[in-house]
Every structure is written in structure tokens, then in C-alpha cells.
Amino acid sequence: MTEHSPLSSLATSPNDISIVSELLNQLKVRDVMTRSICTVTPDKTLRVVQHLMRDKKISGVPVVEGSRLIGIISLDDIIRALDRGEINMRVWEKMSRRVVTVEDHVSVVKAIDEMEKSGFGRLPVLDKDGDLVGILTHWDVVRKLVVMLQEVAMQAEQRERSILARTGSSQPEVTTLDFDVEHDDFENAGRASSAVKKALQARNVDPAVIRRVAVGMYEAELNIVIHSTGGTMAARIYSDRIEVAALDRGPGIADVNLAMKEGFSTASEKVREMGFGAGMGLPNIKRCSDVFTISSALGEHTEVSFTVFFTPQKPTPPSAPESA
Amino acid sequence: MTLRECVQRLDAEVAVGDDALDRKVESVAASDLLSDVLATTKHNYLLITGLVTPQVVRTAELMGSAGICFCRGKYPSQEAIGMAKVHGIPLLCTRLAMFEACCRLAGLDLERPYR
């Protein structure tokens, strides 16, 4: 899984408090968790755990057999054991076998929900094979957010400085926002559209225009998620318009004219169950935009580009879609 | 009308957005197809739907809808609730089926909805 910086897809204003929410939505548990975990084997005494907690300043120790999590000992367990003179008992005798865990690929938002639901402030993290790969605490999330916000602020400052140096003014002629869109990533589908929508709102663009852009981008983003092997979306915001280009890595469309027909869809059953796949995506994008082009062929990548002007244009005759 | 009035008319439970009930609702849209929702030109509408995925919340956020009401007693998933909280989209839940919910919001007599 390639790591790409989620920062490249954020709106340019560092004062926007929704950056925190966007970050939280993008971050996965594995981006944030502590990987060097203190663990203990079931044969050890509780005294060993007590010392571990004291030395490492932690309040919970997962119990493992190899890389498999079989239980957990909490600070409460140790205090109780000290109270009852049971501190020399073995870990397996006193550990909780039912452990609340979280998987490494889920979003941090979901993990925080789990923490609140279960009441536990620290969750062991398992990978897809069920092996223990890390531990997640509230502090991990906060720490990561602080680091990322500092990077966002630095990047914004650098951008301002280079624009100032180049143009003598700090107003860019064109703002570019780039996003990576992964296949089957429904959790993040719409993130690019949301970020661009906020950027347009910051520029006081007419809300009706913003809605058209948001719909066009969302449909294009969903197309990449549903029908392609992954791709990118680039939005260029000028003073009078926005140009959006959605480019994927394949597999290409066999018959573009058929794809443009309302109601025609190649979406799978699973996708339809989510409420998508009505076959209105491409026609919707065309309807929402002032200029629309699509190029694709089976075995090649697909590119969908559209332009929306910020002020109403004279109606132009609908352009026939180009095919590669 | 306001969201509060919608909640009352639908006997709805507020899952997200207790603090947003004074928000104005200008129209209502009802669908289980996200593409239909994307094609609507309504503003500040309450979306009635049976889809409980986070994608519905994302769609509502992008379209500037006033809120979502899930019908037939459906409850949104944790992820949907998380996303709704982050983007400030009110989520309501009603036991009513979609048709009945629409009738109540339109102020129609449920005993004789066709006149």
C-alpha cells in the first residue's frame, strides 16, 4: 500500500477548522498507532506487569502468545491484585480474555467511536490476519494531528512566500488542488469534492455554481472509485471558472456513447446496494458543467474533464463526447 | 418549516443535531438512489431515505441539504454518524415508511392521501 501525503488534498486556508475534521476522516489507525508495544506472555507474574507499567508509564499491557493477542491486563487489575495479595499470581490467571480491539485499516474516526463506546482509552490494534501490530490511544491521535497541522501551516507559508516572490502579490492566479482516488475506497469517496467545495465557498462563489461543481466532481470521483483501478482528480480554480480533470489508470470504456446514456451502468450488485449505479453519473457531470469532454477506450485510461464558469454563460449547444 | 417541525410531524428521533433543530427546511426529497439525490435542484431540503451508509451523509453534505431522515425505523451506521457530526448534518430517524413520511410532511391526510 503506497503512502501518499493526505496534506496535498487539503484546502489552502490553514485557518479552516474543518481541516481537523478532514484529517480525522483520512487518517487510518495504522497512520497513528504506536507500533512498539509493551506486551507480556501469560506465564509471567503480575509483579512483572506492575513493574512494566511503572517503568513505561502505561496503564494497559496486552498479553500475547507469539504475535496473537490472547488477553489484556489493566492498571485496575494490578491495583486489585496488590490489594488482595495476589501480585505473584500468573498473568493468565487474572487477565481479561475479552479484549476490545480495532483493525489497522479502519479510520481514526471509527476507532475513536469504539473507544467512546467501550470506555477504554487504549485499544490494541490487529491487522487483517489478526496479529497484534500496535496500540492506539487518544494521545497518539492528538500527537499525530499536531504534527500534521504544523506541516500544513509550514506548507501554506512556503506557498505564500513563493507566490509573493513570483508575482509580487499573494493572490495566486490559479489554485490547484490535487487528490488521489483509490479503487473501492467508499469511505473516502467525496473527500476531493468536499475539499473543493470548501475552497470555492472561501472564494464566495455563487452557491448554485458550487453545487454544480460539487455534483460533477462527486460523480467523477465515484466513477474512479467504482469503475477504475484508481486515479487522480485535479481542480484548477481561476478567477472566473474552475477546471476539473479526473484521470484514472484503467480499464477504459469500450463504448463511450453507451456510457453516456442515462440509465446505463456497469456497476456491481454490491455497489448498487450502496445506492449507486443508477447510470446517471456521466450524464449528470455533463449536465452540471459548461464544457465537458470525455476520452477513453477499452484497455486504456479514461479522462473526464469539465469546466464550470462562475457567472452564467450564454448557453452553448451540447458538445458530443469525444472518444479516443 | 423548521427541522423541529419535521421531527414533530414524523415522530422522529434525533440521532445527530440536537442543536440544529431551528434550521429552515425549504423542501423535501425522497429517494434510495444516490444518483437521483445528486440530480435534484432543490435547496435546503430534508432528504428522506432508507440508505444508512456514510455515502448518503457525504452526498447530503455536498448538496447542501438541510438534513437526512431515515425511514422505516432504520438507524445510521457508526461511520455515518461520525461523518454527520464532522460535517454538521442533522440525522433523524422515523418509524414511518417513506410514503407515509412524505405525506405527513406535505400535510396530507393519511386516511385519504389521494383526493
ipTM over 0.85: no
- Which residues of A fall within a CB distance of 8 Å from B87? 21, 194
CB contact under 8 A, B79 and A189: no
Instruction: With cut-offs at 50, 70 and 90, classify the pLDDT of residue A258.
Output: confident
Which residue of B26, B31, B35 to mutate against A (max A Cβ within 10 Å)?
B35
Please report whether residue B115 resides in a domain: no
Q: pTM value?
A: 0.59
For residue B57, the chain A residues in CB contact (below 8 A) are none
In a domain, B46, yes or no: yes
A179 Cβ contact partners less than 8 Å away, ≥ 6 residues apart: A8, A9, A191, A192, A195, A221, A232, A233, A234
Write the pLDDT tens digit of every residue in A236-256: 999 899 999 999 988 888 888
**What is the CA angle A219-A225-A230, rounded to 5?**
125
- Res A315 pLDDT > 60: no
Q: Could you give the residue ranges of the DSSP H alpha helices within chain A?
A: 18-26, 29-32, 46-56, 75-84, 91-94, 108-118, 138-167, 191-202, 207-227, 256-259, 269-273, 281-288
Q: Average pLDDT in the A9-34 region?
A: 67
Domain of residue B55 covers 3-106
A214 vs B51: CB contact, 8 Å cut-off?
no
pLDDT at residue B8 in the model: 92
Q: Is A189 on the interface with B (CB under 8 A)?
A: yes
Q: Which residue has the higher pLDDT, B6 or A26?
A: B6
- Report yes or no: B65 and B87 within 8 Å, Cβ to Cβ: no
**Inter-CA distances, A241 with A169, A171, A281, A283, A317, Å:** 20, 16, 22, 21, 19
Task: Give chain A positions within 8 Å (CB) of B68.
Answer: none
The reported pLDDT for the residue numbered A35 is 87
Q: Calculate how close chain B gets to A126, using CA atoms only, in Å.
A: 19
pLDDT of residue B98: 93
CATH of the domain at B16: 3.40.1390.20
Look at residue A276 and tell me whether its pLDDT is greater than 80.
yes
All three cell numbers of B30: 425522497
- Chain A residues touching B30 at Cβ < 8 A: none
Position A318 confidence tier, pLDDT thresholds 50, 70, 90: low
Q: Is residue A137 less than 8 Å (CB to CB) from chain B?
A: no
Task: Look at chain B and report how many structural domains it folds into.
Answer: 1
In a domain, B113, yes or no: no
Q: Which member of B62, B83, B86 has the closest CB to residue A218?
A: B62
A288/A119: higher pLDDT: A288
Of residues A28 and A322, more confidence is placed in A28
Instruction: Say yes or no for a CB contact (<8 Å) between B54 and A187.
Output: yes
Residue with grid cell 455515518, as numbered in its chain: B80
- At residue A15, the pLDDT reads 47
Homologous superfamily (CATH) for A29-140: CBS-domain (3.10.580.10)
Going from N- to C-terminal start, the domains of chain A cover 29-140, 173-309
Surface of A (205-244) touching B: CB under 8 A: 207, 211, 214-215, 218-219
Mean pLDDT of B57-84: 89
Q: What is the mean pLDDT of residues A3-28?
A: 57
Stretch among A165-169, A289-293, A295-299, A306-310 having the lowest mean pLDDT: A165-169
Residue A3: what pLDDT? 40
Q: Does domain A173-309 have CATH number 3.40.50.2300?
A: no
Residue B111: inside a domain = no
At residue B102, φ and ψ (nearest 5 deg) are -65, -40
Is A274–B61 a contact, with Cβ atoms under 8 angstroms apart?
A: no
Q: Quick check: A161 pLDDT over 80?
A: no
Nearest to A25 among B38, B51, B86 (CB): B86
**Dist. CA B104–CA B107, nearest whole Å:** 5
The whole-angstrom separation of Cα A122 and Cα A134 is 11
Residue A171: count of CB within 10 angstroms of its CB? 9
Average the pLDDT over each of A121-125, A222-226, A274-278, B93-97 and give the range with the smallest value. A274-278
